[in-house]
Amino acid sequence: MSDVAVEDAVSAYLRRKAVGDPDERGAGTYASNAESILRRWTAWLESEHGTTSLFDLDVEHLRSYAATLADRVDRGEYAASTAHTYFAVVRAFLSWCVRGGILESNPAATEAAERALPAAERSEGQFWTREQRCTLEEYVRQRALDAEDDDRRERLGRLRDYAMVAVLAHAGVRAGELFRVPADDRRSGATWDDVDFYTGTIRVLGTSQRFEEVLLPAAARTPLRRYRVVLDPPSNEWPLFPTRHAPSIAGRVRSVLAERGHDDDEIEALLDGTTASQLARERSIPPPAITTEGARSILKRLCADADVDVDGGYLKPGGARRALGERSRRRAATSPGTALRESYLERSIVVAEDVPGAGTD
């Protein structure tokens, strides 16, 4: 048999799944969900191992992929469940290759490869207790109220922290839906265009790889609205939570100005006598959003400053989502009239194994 490129095999697999096998329900939906995972895996194989041929794949490649996913879980970019979902999609593709006679065996369906995956976790894991949530919320709320009006940067930072904690605590969004995931170019962070204060919703890229509307309760909307007034974004394309990392902002500004036709000398002239942040505002160049890891660092600092008693160090974004799901279930059990609204919120606590996608915790 002549050589088969991984990219070509993936395309054939997705076409077959999009049509749907006669004995499989929802195959077209699966293909849509799996495409971004397989495309990124294909790019990873080439960039990390220089591998483009399906016949060159071996167990070590898949063990390395599993280890890479585990490393991203350790860095807080993915939930363990998401890592397992990614690996399962790749394993299913390779099984299809075996059934079609393209490969003799599946290198992903081996103990050596799967052993490198992070420990699986479903509904288990940290969740914010009521006492922890209230302590942290009261701290960031009071801290925002005490900010001096004449120190805009300090006030903005405190309002950002308050809004971030409130959205995580009450909207049930995943970290990867709100902040930037460096390893996933589709997850660049929520923007103000995604927020609708009139309907009280925020649009996020869910685990299904489709955009979804999530409720923003008043407890999340009010701090977010106050924060927006002070942030005063030049456009709705501005991220909700932009990074303050000066080199990242400067890199984005230079890149966008170059795309707009400015040469290096013109860019340097524009930056002369001003900061990249100021130029970004003047030229309406949205800076990068903070990353999921950056958001965790902020929560870690806030928990330490607020003396929040946490077994394991600090409150993590995924813990807020799990706690919200538990509160939702309890309210629905005691107040049947709220069941419809609570079921809408439940999409925020579905673990990634349930839908092959790219949600992050």
Burial readout 56-90 (b: 16 or more C-beta within 10 A, e: otherwise):
ebebebbbbbbebbbebbeebbbbbbbbbbbbbbb
83 with 70: CB under 8 angstroms?
A: yes
Strands 201-205, 211-215: parallel, antiparallel or unpaired by DSSP? antiparallel
Of 114, 139, 173, the position where a domain reaches its end is 114
Looking at the structure of the chain, the number of domains it has is 2
Residue 253 domain flag: no
Q: Which residues are CB-neighbours of 50 under 8 A, at least 6 positions away?
A: none
At 23 the pLDDT is 42
> Could you tell me the residue range of the domain that residue 110 belongs to?
6-114
Q: Answer yes or no: do 212 and 332 share one domain.
A: yes
Q: Give the number of other CB atoms < 10 A from CB of residue 94.
A: 22
Q: Answer yes or no: do 38 and 93 share one domain.
A: yes
Which residues on neighbouring strands pair with residue 201, listed in sequence order?
196, 215
What does each of the 361 residues of the chain score in pLDDT, given as a tens digit? 578 999 999 999 988 877 654 444 444 556 667 888 899 999 999 999 999 999 999 999 999 999 999 888 877 677 788 888 899 999 999 999 999 899 999 999 999 899 999 876 544 467 788 899 999 999 999 999 998 887 899 999 999 999 999 999 999 888 889 999 887 888 899 999 999 999 999 999 887 677 889 999 999 999 999 999 999 999 999 999 999 999 999 999 999 999 999 999 999 999 998 999 999 999 999 999 999 989 999 999 999 999 988 876 888 888 887 777 655 544 444 444 443 344 344 343 333 322 233 333 4
The two three-digit tokens of residue 180, written as one number: 């930037």
At 120 the pLDDT is 65
At 205 the pLDDT is 87
Q: Answer yes or no: do 203 and 231 share one domain.
A: yes
At 125 the pLDDT is 60
Of 61, 79, 114, the position where a domain reaches its end is 114
Q: Answer yes or no: do 51 and 198 share one domain.
A: no
With 0.85 as the threshold, say if the pTM is over it.
no
Q: Answer yes or no: do 219 and 325 share one domain.
A: yes
Q: What is the domain-level CATH number for residue 325?
A: 1.10.443.10
Q: Which residues are CB-neighbours of 70 under 8 A, at least 6 positions away?
A: 83, 116, 117, 118
At 75 the pLDDT is 73
At 327 the pLDDT is 54
Residue 14 domain flag: yes
Q: Which residues are CB-neighbours of 351 under 8 A, at least 6 positions away?
A: 79, 81, 122, 123
CA–CA distance, 94 with 322 (Å, rounded to integer): 33
Residue 264 domain flag: no
At 9 the pLDDT is 93
Of 69, 87, 114, the position where a domain reaches its end is 114
At 197 the pLDDT is 93
Q: Answer yes or no: do 41 and 110 share one domain.
A: yes
